[in-house]
Structure 1
Amino acid sequence: MAFDIKNMTWLNPPPHSEMGPSGLVLRTADGTDFWQGTYYGFHHDNGHFLSCPRSGDFTAEISFTGDYQTLYDQAGLMIRYDEHHWMKCGIEYTDGLRHFSTVVTNGQSDWSAMALASDFEVMHVRVSRLGDALFVQYRLDGTGPWHMARLAYFPPQFDEVQVGPTACSPKRAGFEARFMSFSLTDPVSRDIH
């Protein structure tokens, strides 16, 4: 079921986006990314991000697909306070495979990635903000249990954040991502086991 974007706002709108019955389809601009400093030394804040505000604790869930072909093509979910405090997670294409990727930025960015099986179409992501933590989970094709990917620190003093879908393509233009669902609710659970 498609989600409603009428109360959402773009940071760095993509050159093409269209909302239809099957969700939001976007195509990226060239050289787009979110990253701050670590290892590579560059600072990018020009990725595409469609968001709505949320305060306090919450759970965000999103489902999406993408035409991953080029190094660092990426799509997923972002939680953002400002340019230097954010988290993005989802699929990133690296070493010829789709990886579940999480980048947490508190001044400087870090990156964790794990290779995924190749026999799935739709990625489902769930992130719960619980006090000073972001609990990141995923599942493939919407079946089976949620898998834990990361428990990350996020500054609790940043109460209101922006939450929503994101997509980037640092090495090309025209990466296409389709977001089929997005929801933002009170926390679904405080359990991590």
Structure 2
Amino acid sequence: MIDVDWSTGSWTTAPARVEVGDDGMRVTAVEGSDAWRVTSYGFVHDTEHALLAPFEQGTAVEVSFRLDFSAQFDQAGVFVRVDDETWTKAGVERSDGEDGLGAVVTRGVSDWSLAPVPGWHGREVTVRASRSGDALTVRARVDDEPWRLVRVSPLNADAAATAGPMCCAPSRDGLTVHFTAWRTGPADEGLHPPT
């Protein structure tokens, strides 16, 4: 994997503040920022802070950040976008008092999967999105622990997509996420590790 310069991408929605230093990028989210389409809640939110660069077929993107969430729906991870109605966000989100690892996959309407990660708070989380054939495969890990499979979802092989770091603060002001890395490289060789 090779590092992507923080100045490479373009923001979908400008954050309140961005500070780039030797130890990464700190992004302060705007209160009410989020990405969601219709399902269950009945609204469309497209105000996420996602720093996106081209995401070619046969490549992967990794985003790392320090997990330090405290408010309902604080979130950070990776965002993969084709258009307004076709996108995936994956990472950690605080929901009902606990941190959860999951993904929102949107094809016109959103769906959401989430599983608790109680031992991850205060540590470095890495989320990896890998594009191969007709699929997007998302994995994540904390520190140098083994990768966990988060989601496999369809992604048209010919689609022009972009990807990069993302954060949102749907319920509060003042969330600052410390992103420690943004990398790209070849797509994962397969869905399952060799046996």
Q: Give the total of aligned pairs.
A: 191
Q: Does 1:176 align with 2:176?
A: yes
Q: Which residue of 1 aligns with 2:135?
A: 133
Matches within 5 A, 1:38-187: 38-120=39-121, 121-141=123-143, 143-158=144-159, 160-187=160-187
Name the CA distance, whole Å, in 2 between partners of 1:98 and 1:74.
9
Deviant stretches of 4+, over 6 Å: none
Which deviates the most, 132-141 or 35-44? 132-141
SS in 2 for 1:110: strand
- How much does 1:61 deviate? 1.1
- How much does 1:55 deviate? 2.3
1:60-118 deviation per Cα after TM superposition (whole angstroms, max 9, x unaligned) = 11110143111100000011011100000001001111100200001110000000023
Contact 2:69–2:94 (CA<8 Å) still a contact in 1? yes
Which deviates the most, 145-154 or 95-104? 145-154
Superposed CA RMSD in Å reads: 1.6
SS in 1 for 2:80: strand
Identity %: 33
Name the CA distance, whole Å, in 1 between partners of 2:164 and 2:43.
24
Name the CA distance, whole Å, in 1 between partners of 2:66 and 2:94.
12
Name the CA distance, whole Å, in 1 between partners of 2:191 and 2:119.
29
Structure 2 unmatched ranges of 5 or more: none
Contact 1:2–1:21 (CA<8 Å) still a contact in 2? no
Contact 2:60–2:131 (CA<8 Å) still a contact in 1? yes
Name the CA distance, whole Å, in 1 between partners of 2:55 and 2:150.
22
1:127-186 deviation per Cα after TM superposition (whole angstroms, max 9, x unaligned) = 111121111111111x1321111111223341x211100000111111110111111222
Which deviates the most, 27-36 or 1-10? 1-10
Name the CA distance, whole Å, in 2 between partners of 1:152 and 1:54.
16
Name the CA distance, whole Å, in 1 between partners of 2:120 and 2:107.
34
SS in 2 for 1:40: coil
TM-score by length of 2: 0.92
Name the CA distance, whole Å, in 2 between partners of 1:47 and 1:67.
18
